[in-house]
Chain A
Amino acid sequence: MRRGIAATALVATLALAATACGGDDKGGDETKAGGELSGTVTWWDTSNDAEKASFQKIAEAFTAKHPKVTVKYVNVPYGDAQNKVKNAFSSGSEAPDVIRADVGWVADFASLGYLDEVPAETAKKVDAEFLPQAAASGKYEGKTYAVPQVIDTLGLFYNKKMLADAGVQPPKTLEEVKTAAAAIKAKTGKAGLYLRGDDSYWFLPLIYGEGGDLVDAKNKTVTVDNPAGVKAFKTARDLVTSGAAITNATDGWTNMQTAFKSGEAAMMINGPWAVADTYAGDQFKDKANLGVAAVPAGSVKAGAPQGGHDLAVYAGSKNRAAAHAFVEYMTSQDVQVQSTKELSLLPTRAAAYEQPDVKSSEMVQFFKPAVDKAVERAWIPENGSLFEPLKVEYTKAITGASSPEDAAKSAGTEFRKILKGWK
């Protein structure tokens, strides 16, 4: 019985202590004893398996600058991240302080009130020192909610040796991809191109190639189902039926990387984030064997989407000052140069491109001009939501489950359900 009373008393004390802590949330961790930051910053990182060790190391090094801040690094697989982040943000429990958000998510999260505005000072720096197209992705209704960490776009990765063996040049158009693939098949028995079929991001170069786009944000019009869009779905299907490309409707990322790394496919369309993992493959023990070219053009032009990741702070974070400081650190020039060196990722600070390590990186030499020309997407809150219905239709079209016309039409219908009031 005595123990019971003691336990009750203990619980009561704890509850009191907890409410006391909860009471001064506003001050709490944020109070800077002598201007020093303290507390814990939880960072949800979405980088892939090949990149995560490097980012964890970089993130935890923040403690060297701010000894009283502990960084809690959590890797969240990119595929599940958008949902997980939303669950955590809307419920508030176990929510991270800082997230690495795909550029397509920022406007969405900001419009829902989940993100804390970037401090004015940092926002000014973002405008002055970062690549303008990267900075644009962190904004919503004129305010800055995220600081760009890396920028990227898609390119055509090719196995130099396989192409040389087949006696073909890196193709510049999809027509050339077909001829090259036929030569590769004849010579080596392997596939020409791996075209990812389970993620609609990989559909973007095809639709840009026909001169189309998903939506026209300026005129509030859905454009995925116009003739250019239909043509793009046709092209996707045609690449597979003609035997130029192999594809999968599930586990596309793993299958694509495996096929390319082991030489089962001579080419793939991918971004800088795949470089570190690709170098780990048998075919690329000699790093010089990996070549990168612009995405092949469709019948109109060659176009790849601008992508990348931004860092943003949760509006409900109990430790906002430290969180913002962490974001600033993670997007600093030194850190960007380091991740370029280790992972071939592209910096978002204009001045970083002057650094010798960045300048000498072959991937940067290729991707920087590509990024400059990349198609900037509409930074609307619905941006991220468009990819799911598009994926369904893209997969159906590429596997032949529905005709290109039907796929384009259904994608348009779904888009208009999401974008209420658009034409």
Chain B
Amino acid sequence: MAAHTSQSVAKAAGGDGEDSVAARGRSRRTDSAKRGGLGRALATHWYAWAMVAPVVLVLGVIIGWPLARGVYLSLTDANERNVGRTIGANHIEATYTFVGLDNYADVLADPVFLQRLVWTVVWTVLCVSITFTLGLALANMLNRDFRGRAAYRMALILPWAVPGFVSVFAWRFLFNRDSGILNKILDGGGISAIPWLDDPTWAKFSVVAVNVWLGVPFMMVALLGGLQSIPGELYEAAEMDGATSWQRFRHITLPGLRAVSMTVILLSTIWTFNMFPVIFLLTRGGPGDSTEILVTQAFREAFVASPRDFAGSATWGVLILALLMIFALVYRRSLRKQGEVW
């Protein structure tokens, strides 16, 4: 069995090579040339394709189909009232129609979209930069030998171990203006109560703080891993040359972490951009609509008003996806310019 597999893999790997084609004789060669690249790839790599097929199928069903359906819905006027369904004795025919790009025109013309986009970008940049800075600082502090290192690490990873909604609800209690512990402490210090979640600016501060608190452990662990892969000799050599600790950080640590940090920044940006639970559970987008980001707005479009506007929220979803794809492309291009292979 094992031998068979390895042989097939070898064939699959080297299948395109001239020698393997030559071995099969001339007639087959012209045949496969006629069938073109795809046909030939299918014929020579059939085993690999067979292995990959289930994954492709599953991804197609759970991601591709809903995605395609979402894009289609965004081009219609579908809502809860006009999609077809049967509930018990009530049978309702589907009556929604294709409306082209009308939904996109509506959303983009609405000043709400721009407002949400601006705050979403501010929120993402703030969260990612603060989280990254804190994570880097903590990782550096933990990347040396000292007593109780394991205990510190455990404590710092804790926020990650707690389910997100539990942490967010806990924070909501802490932030409560009348009975929250934060204001009780401030009160004890003679400072008047802060309307954490009741004032637009403080609410923005609060959601960022909670998201940073939740995000730091991941950054820290990832960067700690990166730090440990930097050879200690580099630091020793730099020390011999009389480099200050800042110079060592600037010229050894940061370049050494580049690959890791670029990845975690990309991931973190995408996560934060779409960080639904923190905003929704902490402030519900409020007070008013001041902390609403694009995804929570999409949720509002889909699930708050009745009848639920499926087309409208699909439009928001597609726009969010498009924004993230553009971001990822630009990011990748800028990395490639800096010589990263990605």
User: A-side interface residues toward B, CB under 8 Å?
Assistant: 83, 86, 89-90, 92, 108, 111-114, 116, 197-198, 248-251, 255, 258-259, 264, 314-317, 320, 381-382, 384-385, 388-389, 392-393, 395-396, 399, 401-402, 418
Contacts and interface: CB of A to CB of B under 8 A. Distances in A.
B87 A250 contact: no
7 contacts: A116-B88, A198-B286, A248-B198, A249-B203, A258-B179, A317-B88, A399-B195
B193 to A, nearest CB: 11
A148 B13 CA distance: 72
A381 B81 CA distance: 11
Contact of B288 (A255, A384, A402, A418): A402
B305 A418 contact: yes
Given A249-B197, A250-B197, A255-B179, A112 B288 contact: no
Interface string B170-199: 001000111100000000000000010111
Nearest to B299: A83
B180 to A, nearest CB: 9
A90 B198 contact: no
Given A248-B198, A250-B284, 4 more contacts: A83-B304, A249-B203, A396-B287, A418-B305
A306 B63 CA distance: 46
A321 to B, nearest CB: 13
Contacts of B66: none
A111 B89 CA distance: 14
Given A112-B307, A314-B88, A401 B177 contact: no
Given A112-B81, A315-B87, A392-B288, A401 B200 contact: yes
Contacts of B286: 198, 249-250, 392, 395
A116 B87 CA distance: 9
A421 to B, nearest CB: 14
B165 to A, nearest CB: 13
A92 B87 contact: yes
A385 B306 CA distance: 6
A111 B80 CA distance: 10
Nearest to B89: A315
Nearest to A386: B305
Contacts of B197: 249-250
A264 B287 contact: no
Given A392-B288, A399-B288, A113 B87 contact: yes
Given A198-B286, A250-B198, A255 B178 contact: yes
A111 B198 contact: no
Question: Per DSSP, are chain B's interface residues mostly helix, strand or loop, or mixed?
Answer: loop
Contacts of B199: 399, 401
Given A112-B80, A249-B198, A250-B197, A385 B88 contact: no
Question: Lowest 7 A-B CB distances belong to which pairs?
Answer: A396-B288, A249-B287, A315-B88, A113-B90, A249-B198, A316-B88, A316-B87
A84 to B, nearest CB: 10
Contact of A401 (B80, B176, B179, B287): B287
Given A86-B308, A250-B287, A381-B306, A113 B92 contact: yes
B322 to A, nearest CB: 24
B108 to A, nearest CB: 16
Given A113-B92, A315-B90, A401-B288, A248 B178 contact: yes
Contacts of A382: 306
A250 B286 CA distance: 8
B85 interface: yes
Q: How large is the interface on B (under 10, 10 to 19, 20 to 34, 35 or more residues)?
A: 20 to 34
B303 interface: yes
Contacts of B88: 116, 314-317, 320
A320 B300 CA distance: 33
Contacts of A401: 199-200, 287-288, 290
Nearest to A113: B90
B16 interface: no
B31 interface: no
A195 B9 CA distance: 72
A259 B305 CA distance: 31
A90 B287 contact: no
Given A113-B87, A116-B88, A395-B286, A259 B307 contact: no
Interface in B85-118: 85, 87-90, 92
A92 B308 CA distance: 16
Nearest to B283: A250
Contacts of A113: 85, 87, 90, 92
B111 to A, nearest CB: 11
A259 B178 CA distance: 8
A296 to B, nearest CB: 23
Given A249-B198, A264-B178, A111 B81 contact: yes
Contacts of B81: 111-112
B239 interface: no
Contacts of B340: none
Contacts of B284: 250
B289 interface: yes
A249 B196 CA distance: 10
Interface string B58-79: 0000000000000000000000
A108 B308 CA distance: 11
Interface string B286-323: 11111000000000100111111000000000000000
Contacts of B178: 248, 255, 258-259, 264
A114 B199 CA distance: 39
A113 to B, nearest CB: 4
Contacts of A258: 178-179
A197 B81 CA distance: 32
A116 B89 CA distance: 8
Contacts of A316: 87-88
B235 to A, nearest CB: 49
Contacts of A392: 286, 288-289
A90 B82 CA distance: 12
Contacts of B87: 89, 92, 113-114, 314-316
Contacts of A251: 172, 176
A257 to B, nearest CB: 11
A99 B306 CA distance: 18
Name which of A197, A315, A320, A392 has the most chain B CB atoms within 10 A of its CB. Answer: A392
Contacts of A255: 176-179
Nearest to B90: A113
Contacts of B172: 250-251
A388 B303 contact: no
A396 B198 CA distance: 10
Nearest to B199: A399
A422 to B, nearest CB: 14
A197 B88 CA distance: 40
Most chain B beta-carbon contacts within 10 A, residue among A108, A382, A393, A395:
A395
Contacts of B283: 250
Most chain B CB within a 10 A radius of its CB, from A111, A317, A401 = A401
